[in-house]
Chains A and B, each alone.
Chain A
Amino acid sequence: MAASEENVSIADHAKRTRREPGALRQYATQLAGNPLGIVGLVLVVLIIGCAILSPWIVPYDPTQIFVGPRLGGPSWAHWLGTDQLGRDTLSRVIAGSRIAMLVAVATLGTALTIGLLLGLIAGYGPQWLDNILLLLFDAVRSFPVIVFGLALVTLLGPSLQTVILVVAITSVPIYARIARTQTQSLRNAEYIQAERAMGAGTMRTLAIHILPNVIGPLLILVSMDVPLVIATEAGLSFLGMGVRPPTPSWGTILNDGYGVIRNSPWPVISGSVPIVIVTLGFTFLGEALRDIFDPKLRRDL
């Protein structure tokens, strides 16, 4: 009978295991219960989908001039009309999503990596190093982003790389400060002290124990910063300081459209709507993720 009891016990365990949802499923369930989160997810998937598939789904070459009537309104041939050079606005908006996402991924990826590293060093390292790094963070943060951008663009020339550099540099201190604060609060925790007492090295402590606890809040922040970064790129491009013409970006579509707004409002509308969509999408999704992963942060905020 012992074998039979053992079999029953294993089956019960299996049933219990099946009944308890996994962490991912749990998160998905929580997200499904948040309507704004779902809206955000749909919008984000839409934008990312456009960005990835843009070369295949654009109806026309977004840089080809004189393909249609200039400053035409929406039609079956051109759903969002055409710009002042006769280019299909829908194609330019779709192609612009690729630039926007490229800037967001490259900028935030760079800023997060460097910011996390510097934050860990500042929070776990000696006091003098912390002071120096804090001074550096504050100095960089004191520059208004657009003004700093204009200065850098003047020195390096306008390009996509310059835009990425500008936004990355100005974003690093944000992540670094948060990583530093989190690290400082963890460095004296009992389990870290115990780990140290057992002879763990600094690198091991940072990599195994502190980093996993620090990165969560930063990832939520990153998702909420995506629209900010995209808006900065659009702002610099609107001022003519972003990507080179004829590469389409939402900012250049807005800039070109502003010049001809009396003739046709469609280029301006077409350049604005994606920025609104991306802002709402990432904000809703970011807030939902924050509620799921860090309810305490929500209360604190």
Chain B
Amino acid sequence: MSANPFPKSKGIDRRGFLKGSAVAGLAAASMPISTAVWAQSGKVLHISSYADIDELDPGFYQNGYNVDVMNCIYSKLVHYVPGREWDTSLQAAEEVKQVDPTHITFRLKKGIMFTGGHGEMTAEDVKFSFERVIKHDSPVKGDWGPLDHVEVTGKYEGTIVLKEPFEPLWTITLPYGTGCIVSKKAVMEATKDGGDFGMKPPAFSGPYILDTWKPGQYVKLTRNPEWKGTKPGYDEIRILPMDDEKTMEIAYESGDLDFTAVSLSSLSKYKESPPAKTTIQEYPSLYYVWVGMNMENPALTDINLRKAIQYAINVPQIMQAAYFNQAKPATGLIAPGLTGHRESEIVPPEGDLEKAKAFLEKAGGPPIEPLTIDTLNATTWTAIAQVIQAQLAQIGIQLKVNVQDSGSFWTIGMESEGDRWKKMQLIVNRFSMLPDPYYATQWFTTDQVGIWNWERFSNKEFDKLNQEALQETDHDKRAAMYHKMQDLMEQSGAYRFLTHEASPVMFRDSVKPALRPDARPLFRFFKPA
């Protein structure tokens, strides 16, 4: 059995790996507060986020920008390790062991305190934090998959009991959002039933606390005076919500930010002449961008027409026009470095105009009425749509570009939002991703049709594989399942995978950032250089 969740650590026993990591964590946790050296006093880290926070309950959050803050104010059993390779390490736990496929035991570090006099973190808090996600029918209960219950075996010890094996537990559930541990006492006092406490965390257990939140203006995190672990690098972290990368770049250049993402269109210029005392680094991204086709739209029911469109799309041309050659073509949903990444796709990246024409002939020629392609009103996306428009024109297919604002775009294929899904034909789409293949494929199952599966792709074999892969603990077998699933998607003609994009960042030389391998910042571990 290959037990480690990440392919990089393939062959390393999961138990041994986590025990080994425990040594460093234990040393940090047991360090007396008097001996801890505070990082440079008075240091403030100025950063931006692509959206303003809207939910700080780890049991009920829905978006990654909330997790960026939750990472700072709560503790988890394990966390992602900053670096270029996907890996996890112990945080609030001294040890985590998988005793069998459905039982995971843990032992907490002693002395982790909740703020506000809510006492020490215990196994009861872990049980409460994890079980409430299932009990209250949280929107993120899928992350806890087949959790049955958590058994408390001691003040600091417990066992997570699953109904069936669940591989994403190690790659998403524990190290990401729902793995955060809240105080049972504090939450019960605040909510009575242990439900969603929204934007008012009743107690903190991380190195920072939420000091101020001015909606639409900034989030201010300050040091947690009751924190006894490794001291954080900054006295204060100030997060400014900015939904536009160009705005972030301008803010960085004017000195308002110490760290920011860089748009791909600006990357080459920044590399030529970076701002003073700045380091630019390039990271791969996990996002996946694709062109989807609504299989139930009358104009697209013929698979030959869909395949003609697949073969007419030249992905490298799109990379050049929309991404300035700073991103690479994707082979599927799953990015390189993750379990299930395909080495190659069925339709070559450049497409094949002759094959496209042949499929079009089988389909009886181009549609009489122009097809439509929906896209978000962002420069990159509209550029993609316009290049595809020109490429399809080469085989005689006329395409109209429908530009949508975000509110309209992100509901276009949802049955709950009316009948617009019926008119949707082609769409340029982009989903975010976490480091487990399940996170990508879960949106394309039959039960997601009309929710997030806007192509209305329905395949029994795909659904079966998606379920089985959740329980498959052998890395190679699991990878083969996800390869097959992506093949099935592509063979349906409803998908043309474009890219995973890329994630360049820049930061001041005075900052030592801590980033996940996909460049998502782990602010908790940022330090002054």
A residues with a Cβ closer than 8 A to B are: 65-66, 70, 84-86, 150, 153-154, 157-158, 239-241, 244-246, 255-256, 258-263
Contact = CB atoms under 8 A, between A and B. Distances in A.
B265 A244 contact: no
Most chain B CB inside 10 Å of its own CB: which residue of A239, A255, A260: A260
Contact of B386 (A65, A261, A262): A65
B405 A239 contact: yes
B140 interface: no
A256 B381 CA distance: 11
Interface stretch (B94-102, B146-154, B395-403): B395-403
Chain A residues touching B, majority SS: loop
A262 B249 CA distance: 10
Contacts of A255: 379
A85 B379 contact: no
15 contacts: A70-B321, A84-B265, A85-B321, A85-B387, A154-B408, A158-B404, A239-B377, A240-B405, A244-B403, A245-B382, A246-B401, A256-B383, A258-B379, A259-B246, A260-B379
Given A85-B321, A154-B408, A244-B403, A259 B377 contact: no
Contacts of A258: 246, 379
B117 interface: no
A159 to B, nearest CB: 9
B407 to A, nearest CB: 7
Interface of B: 246, 249, 263, 265-266, 268-270, 321, 324, 377-380, 382-383, 385-387, 389-390, 400-405, 407-408
Contacts of A70: 321
B430 to A, nearest CB: 16
B408 to A, nearest CB: 5
Given A157-B402, A244-B400, A258-B379, A84 B407 contact: no
A255 B386 CA distance: 15
Contacts of A158: 402-404
Contacts of B389: 245-246
B379 A246 contact: no
A86 B382 CA distance: 15
Q: Shortest 7 CB-CB distances between A and B: which pairs?
A: A240-B377, A259-B379, A262-B266, A245-B401, A240-B403, A262-B269, A154-B408
Contacts of B268: 263
B266 A263 contact: yes
Contacts of B270: 262
Contact of A154 (B246, B265, B407): B407
Contact of B379 (A239, A244, A256): A256
A218 B345 CA distance: 64
A137 B270 CA distance: 51
A262 B389 CA distance: 26
A239 B404 CA distance: 10
B377 A241 contact: yes
A245 B269 CA distance: 27
Given A70-B321, A260-B265, A153 B402 contact: no
A36 B378 CA distance: 40
Contacts of B387: 65, 85
A70 B320 CA distance: 10
Given A85-B383, A154-B405, A258-B379, 7 more contacts: A157-B402, A158-B404, A241-B377, A256-B383, A261-B246, A262-B269, A263-B268
B493 to A, nearest CB: 25
B12 to A, nearest CB: 43
Nearest to A264: B269
A66 B269 CA distance: 21
Contacts of B404: 158, 240
B405 A150 contact: yes
A249 to B, nearest CB: 12
A267 to B, nearest CB: 11
B134 to A, nearest CB: 36
A84 B321 contact: yes
A70 B270 CA distance: 18
Most chain B CB inside 10 Å of its own CB: which residue of A256, A259, A260: A259
Contacts of B402: 157-158, 244
A69 B403 CA distance: 26
B269 A263 contact: yes
Contacts of A65: 321, 386-387, 390
A81 to B, nearest CB: 16
B385 A245 contact: yes
A241 B263 CA distance: 23
Nearest to B270: A262
A77 B387 CA distance: 23
A66 B320 CA distance: 11
Contacts of B405: 150, 153-154, 239-241
A234 to B, nearest CB: 14
A244 B401 contact: yes
Nearest to A86: B321
Contacts of A157: 402
